[in-house]
Amino acid sequence: MPKLLLVHPPQIALYMPYLALPSLTAYLRGHGKPCDQVDLNVRANRRLISERGLREAMAAVERRFGPGGRDAPDDVRAALELGPDTITRLPAALRDMRDDARLLDDEAMTAAFGLLDRALALASAPFHPTKLSYDLSMRYAPNHVADLQRAVRDEAENPWLRLFREELVPEMLRGGYDVVGIGIAFEEQMIGALTLARVIKELAPHVVTVAGGNVVSKFHTPLLAKNFLFEEFDHAIVYEGETPLERLCDALDARAAGSAAGHGAADLAAVPNLLWRDGATLRVNEMMYEQVPSLPPPVFDGFPVDPAAGDGYLLGHTIFPLLSVRGCYWKKCAFCTHHHSYGWRYRVRPPQQLDEDIETLARRYGARHFYFVDEAVPPAQLKVIADYMCARDGGPLHWFGDMRFEQPLTDGFCRHLYAGGCRMLIFGLESANQRVQDFMDKNVKVGTMERALRACTQNGIFTVTMFFTGFPTETLQEAKDTADFIFRNKPWIGTFSNGSFALLRGAPAQLDPDKYGITSLQPDPDHDLSDDYRYSVRTGLTQESAQRIAESIGRRRTEDEKFGKPFSRELILLRESLRPPPTQGLQRQL
Ligand code: SF4
């Protein structure tokens, strides 16, 4: 039986583990497949910002740009000059991030995360103009195949090539793996994933590499059309991977046993959701979807989830991701493609299993904090979670989730959610103008939003709202209505994020442009792995003016004393978990 390693590649934020690999690992182990997993994102970043890593970065800058970084651009020279101070102060900053006594101190948190930014800037300085922060920016576009091909070969500017080749890949492969699955959930991981696959092939050509994850599902058509995927990977799996990976292991096993008889191709043809090369032909196998009720709770073994070790995720308590459903129960919003990640299928985790998921993680890893990473947690599942937490031996654990504004978010319901450990809800508000709301098929009443925000905040639940400007036909005044709503309801909104409308491939607005007043749309020719379009509209804001308005609201947010705090949602959850309960009848945080 082939031995499998699943890898979560860089570069994304280091706040908490991502759910995909722990779900796959649990399933595969439960079906008798030897499977390990590693969060290479954390491993690589921790290595780069270690004292040794930062000293090496300073030496490398001087080798490349001369003593004191003489010939370096200003930002690189500044990172070098601040280097000794960064190295001295970073350990205390990382301790502050994990210290409950410091968590509510805004200044301490801002300073600690500012120092981390400085450390990442120094770590990436030798690779100028490449920059590392919570993503990776290189001179190459991450959504252009020709650029990606150059990025994974660039020995001078790719920060992963040497580190992977000389340290991290040899260390990983010591486990004697036959198959390495690389999960690409975010576009920011593309360069890290491709570089990793390339280095594995360089060092261990016999190891089978498999790409998977949301990005592969989303872009598999252009990736195949450009014949790019199989330059770096042997196979790819799209959409859900539990059964496909299990069957792939069986097929590889059978192929190894029967290769002399030439049965390999037939075995791979039976693996659902698999993209593979059959000689010169690219094959896309039949799709299948998992039975959500029968899946086991995720397993985080191998991920650095013990905060006491000090070498894993940044915060002092690990927040464990869970799903209460797969897919979205609404599925109608005209701008949205999120519900595609699960192939349009909506499936609910039954209450008993959801309770068992929570309890298993609490027992096995001491989990005290959860993030329900559903596209939108349905109110019924919120109730299941809160009911369980209220009844649980040892008391409720703290959690947050994303959701739609819904009628059941009344004062009484929010009180129950708070009692059941809910400390934050993230809402896709999109627009607070009723005509635009209805036109985009989000179909929430503005009054419902207002009432829900108030009920949450008065009952101790921190609220995050997300919205955008420029949905086709939206006028300047309608865009202003949303900004006005946000600032008028400031007492009930914890923070917000905003952007401008993106016309995405596969969204209802792209599939039926005329219905939404879109007169022309064209893919960006420079970004062949991008799923958004340039477009023009019959009436309302143009794409450019929508972007300008979004930027101006964004500036207003940054300058706002309440909304401008640069804290991640994970940090906010931990901060909210430490606050005393709201006083009955009094409003908090006004
Ligand atoms: S925006 Fe949210 S609620 Fe609307 S269809 Fe997408 S995932 Fe569902």
**DSSP summary character for residue 167:** I
Q: Is 340 in the pocket of ligand 1 (CB under 6 A)?
A: no
Q: Do the Cβ atoms of 396 and 418 come closer than 8 Å?
A: no
In this structure, the number of other CB atoms found within 10 A of the CB of residue 517 comes to: 17
Asked if 371 and 322 touch (Cβ cutoff 8 Å), the reply is: yes
Q: What average pLDDT is seen over the chain?
A: 94
Higher pLDDT, 527 or 170: 170
Atom of ligand 1 lying closest to residue 337 CA: 6
**Whether residue 261 has pLDDT greater than 80:** no
Q: Is the pLDDT of residue 564 over 90?
A: yes
pLDDT tens readout for residues 18-31? 999 999 999 999 99
405 Cβ closer than 6 Å to some ligand 1 atom: no
Range list of H helices, 392-497: 411-419, 434-439, 446-458, 476-488
CB-based contacts of 179, cutoff 8 Å, min separation 6: 2, 3, 4, 5, 207, 208, 209, 210, 248, 249, 252
What's the pLDDT band for 498 if we cut at 50, 70, 90? very high
Which residue do the tokens 């300008």 mark? 548
- Of the pLDDT bands very low, low, confident and very high (cuts 50, 70, 90), residue 266 is low
Atom of ligand 1 nearest to the CA of 430: 1
**Of all atoms in ligand 1, which is nearest to the CA of residue 402?**
2
Enclosing H/E stretch for 121: helix 106-124
323, 325, 332, 338, best to mutate for ligand 1 pocket (most atoms within 8 Å of CB): 338
Residue where the block lists tokens 């990172």: 79
- Residue 535: helix, strand or coil by DSSP? strand
376 lines ligand 1 (CB under 6 A): yes
Position 143 pLDDT exceeds 70: yes
CB of 509 shorter than 6 A to ligand 1: no
Who's near 292: CB < 8 A, 6+ residues apart?
325, 326, 347, 348, 349
How many angstroms is it from 484 CA to the middle of ligand 1? 23
Token couple for 462: 């921190």
Supply the pLDDT for residue 589. 45
Rg of the chain over all Cα atoms, to the nearest angstrom: 24
Q: Give the residue, out of 323, 324, 333, with the most ligand 1 atoms within 8 A of its beta carbon, to mutate for a pocket test.
A: 333
How far, in Å, is the centroid of ligand 1 from the Cα of 187?
A: 20
- Per-residue pLDDT at 339 exceeds 80: no
423 lines ligand 1 (CB under 6 A): no
Could you tell me the distance, in angstroms and rounded to a whole number, from the CA of residue 404 to the centre of ligand 1? Answer: 8
pLDDT digits (tens, 9 = 90+) for 346-355: 999 999 999 9
22 C-alpha to center of ligand 1: Å?
25
Check pocket membership of 336 for ligand 1, CB cut-off 6 A. Answer: yes
Which protein residue has the closest C-alpha to ligand 1 atom 4? 333
**How far apart are alpha carbons 377 and 217 in whole angstroms?**
23
Chain-centre distance of CA 133, in angstroms? 15
How many Å lie between the centroid of ligand 1 and the Cα of residue 296? 26
Q: Is the distance from the beta carbon of residue 428 to the nearest atom of ligand 1 less than 6 Å?
A: yes
Q: What percent of the chain has pLDDT over 90?
A: 88
**Position in ligand 1 atom list of the atom nearest CA 442:** 4
Residue of minimum CA distance from atom 3 in ligand 1: 330
For 272-308, write each residue's pLDDT tens digit: 999 999 988 899 999 999 999 999 999 999 999 999 9
Q: How far is the CA of 269 from the centre of ligand 1 (A)?
A: 34
Mutate which of 340, 403, 404, 439 for ligand 1 pocket (most atoms within 8 A of beta carbon): 404
Mean pLDDT to the nearest integer, 393-413 = 97
Nearest ligand 1 atom, CA 339: 7
CA distance 251 to 269: 9
Cα 20 to middle of ligand 1, angstroms: 20
Residue pair 524/532 in contact (Cβ under 8 Å)? The answer is yes
